[in-house]
Amino acid sequence: MIPLSWYLILAAGLFSIGLFGVLVRRNAVAILLGVELMLNAVNINLVAFWRYGDISLMAGQVFAIIVFAVAAAEVAVGLALVISVYRRRNTVVAEDLDLLKW
Partner 1 sequence: MTGEQIIFLIVGAVTLIAGFLVVTVRNLVHAALWLVATLFGVAIIYTLLNAGFLAVVQVVVYIGAIAILFIFAVMLTRRQAAETGPAMNKNWWGGAVVAVLTFAGLAFLLQTWSGFSKTAAAIPSGFDAVNQLGGALTSPAGYVLPFEVASVLLLAALVGAVYLAFNKK
Partner 2 sequence: MTHEFVTSLVWLIPLPPLLAFALIVLFTNKNKALSHTVAISAAFLSWLGAMIVFWNAIKVEHFGEHPFASSINWIPTGETWLKVGVLIDPLSAAVLFFVGWTVLMIFIYSVGYHNYGQPAGDHDHAGLPPHGATVHGHTVPSIEPMYSRFFAFIGLFAFGMYTLVVSDNLLTLFVGWEIMGLCSYLLIGFWFGKPSARNAAVKAFMTTRIGDVFMLLGISFLYYATGTLSYREIFTEETLHVLATVPSGVFGLSAAGLIAILLFIGTIGKSAQFPLHVWLPDAMEGPTPVSAMIHAATMVSAGVYAVIRMFPLLSAGWHEGGPLTTAMTFVAFIGAFTAIFAATIAVAQNDIKRVLAYSTISQLGFMIAAIGMGAYIAAVFHLITHAFFKALLFLGSGSVIHGMEHGVLHTGNHKVDPQDMFNMGGLRKKMPVTFWTFLIGGFALSGFPLITAGFWSKDEILADAFANGHLTIFITLAIAAFMTAFYTMRQITLTFLGEARTKEAEHAQENKWTMTAPLVVLSVFAVGYGWVGIPEHFPLIGGLVPNWIHEFVGGTLAEHPPVLEFNWIPLLTSLVVALGGLALGWFVYKDIKSPAEDKFQIPLLKNKYYFDEAYQVIFIKPLIWFSEVFVSKWMDKGVIDSILHIFGPTTGSIGTAIRNYFDVPVVNQFFGDGSADATYWIGKNLRPIQTGRIQQYLILSIVVLVVVGGLVYFFLLA
Q: Give me the residues that bind partner 2 (CB under 8 A), please.
A: 19, 22-24, 31, 94-95, 97-102
Q: Which is nearer to partner 1, 87 or 101 (CB)?
A: 87
Partner in contact with 97, chosen from partner 1, partner 2, none, beta carbon below 5 to 8 Å by kind = partner 2
Which residues, in sequence order, are CB contacts of 86 under 8 Å at separation 6+? 92
Pair 14, 41: CB distance under 8 Å: yes
Pair 48, 7: CB distance under 8 Å: yes
Partner in contact with 8, chosen from partner 1, partner 2, none, beta carbon below 5 to 8 Å by kind = partner 1
Provide the minimum distance between the beta carbon of 20 and partner 1 in the complex, in angstroms, as a whole number: 4
Select from 95, 100, 89 the least CA-distant residue to 26. 95
